[in-house]
Amino acid sequence: MTDKSKVVKELFENTALYLTYDYNLQIRKETVETFTSGMNFTNVLDIPSGTGAISIPLLNRAEKLTLIDISSNMLAIAKKNIPENYLSKTEIINADFFELNLPENSYDLIICLGLLAHVNSPEQLINKIVSLLKPDGIFIIQNTDASHSYSYLIRLYLRLKNLIHKQSYSLNKVTDSFIKNKLQSTDLELIKSYRYNQSFLGFSNLFSNEKKYKLTRNFFGDATNPKNQSLGSDYTYLFKKKS
Ligand SMILES: C[S@@+](CC[C@H](N)C(=O)[O-])C[C@H]1O[C@@H](n2cnc3c(N)ncnc32)[C@H](O)[C@@H]1O
């Protein structure tokens, strides 16, 4: 395991730190539901699965689901979330994704939300995922566009916050154009995207998760009826691999 992976693992073994912002998880889950509506899958990969909240609801439309996460505590929650009758078609792997030898061209849906910001190399991550995807397979990936004006505001806010509470962990800065160029050069076609803002800057503690969910939906709509998309820095994309 690389030093970066060890740090990330330690960070996410504390599940509460991430799950406090569960309105964001709800938005991600609904976006994936909308993007895949009416589709059935043979082999689904959720990397990183976290608690499985995003992909477990797809089990009634999938023959097999593989959940991978480096955090054993996230996967312990995922295991409890899987309905008893679906346990036999769910595989849970607690490992660093980059150390796994998974079968190439074998998944018809790969979901990758919340990982690009935490890996050593976003390019290596995308190359590996694309190699695992079947021709005609679907790839749903999330990224916060580092070149969006709202991302500059977030970074300014974090820098100010850092003056008071020193934090050593920093997120990768990946742009929208990097994602689009990289995936289009590996023979994937962009089908759709949904955008919103994940951060309430310094105002997050003023609102409950329920309130933040409602404010986000009122302003940005949802993946079926999106609004104000150019103001959203956080993208969830749906790409399709050419046959
Ligand atoms: C921000 S959470 C996202 C979880 C879920 N996909 C979601 O959208 O809510 C990031 C997750 O990535 C996992 N992770 C980070 N690096 C990883 C790696 N190299 N291999 C597997 N999992 C990793 C962490 O343990 C954590 O659960």
SS3 238: strand
Domains of the chain with bracketed CATH:
3-241 (3.40.50.150)
Alpha-carbon gap, residue 105 to 71, rounded angstroms: 26
Query: What pLDDT score does 160 carry?
Result: 83
**pLDDT, average across residues 169-180:** 93
The single residue listed with the structure tokens 């070149």 is 147
- What are the tokens at 77? 């929650």
**CA 66-123-129 angle, 5° bins:** 20
Residue 200 has pLDDT above 90, yes or no: no
Residue 17 has pLDDT above 80, yes or no: yes
Tell how far the Cα of 71 is from the centroid of ligand 1, in angstroms: 7
pLDDT 10s digits, 138-158: 999 999 999 999 999 988 888
Alpha-carbon gap, residue 2 to 104, rounded angstroms: 23
Look up the pTM and report it: 0.96
What are residue 238's DSSP bridge partners? 140, 192
Tell how far the Cα of 227 is from the centroid of ligand 1, in angstroms: 28
Q: Whose CA is nearest to atom 3 of ligand 1?
A: 114
Tell how far the Cα of 154 is from the centroid of ligand 1, in angstroms: 21
By the 10 Å C-beta count (0-12 exposed, 13-18 middle, 19+ buried), 156 is classed as exposed
**Nearby residues of 14 by Cβ (< 8 Å), 6 or more positions away:** 73
Alpha-carbon gap, residue 183 to 232, rounded angstroms: 21
